[in-house]
Amino acid sequence: MSDALHIVLDDTAMTAAGQGNVLASRLIHRAHAEPGWYLYAPACALVEADRARPGTAEHLAALPGITVLDLDLPAALALAGRETWAAAHSEYAARPTPDRPDGAIIATASPKRWHGEPVRLLDLTA
């Protein structure tokens, strides 16, 4: 188990950050200021967040502590059969990788959306 903390923002977390959610703001601050904290914004979730709250994508993409994850071919293939690309890209981004062998935690402002999914969550509404 690594000491690093990898967190994927879903579209609801991104929107919550733009609306001043304290927990989302703390995550963004820590990812920028503390070693070992990594925050990811999957591109499909970023698009959906921007649709819900225009300007969100540009703002989050400009923050130094956030890494935007592109929709590459493996991600696109994983998303193809899913109903919503935003949640599917977030789930795909949270899977274990060579860089993140323990996977990542999904930060969300809508934890019910993830009921029954094989992901670890950080509830931003608590």
pLDDT in tens, the chain (126 residues): 568 999 999 999 999 999 999 999 999 999 999 999 999 999 999 999 999 999 999 999 999 999 999 998 988 888 877 778 999 999 999 999 998 899 999 999 999 999 998 899 999 997
CB distance 84 to 90 below 8 Å: no
pLDDT number for residue 81:
74
CA 111, distance to chain mean position in Å, is: 13
Q: Which two tokens stand for residue 110?
A: 């809508």
Q: Model pTM greater than 0.85?
A: yes
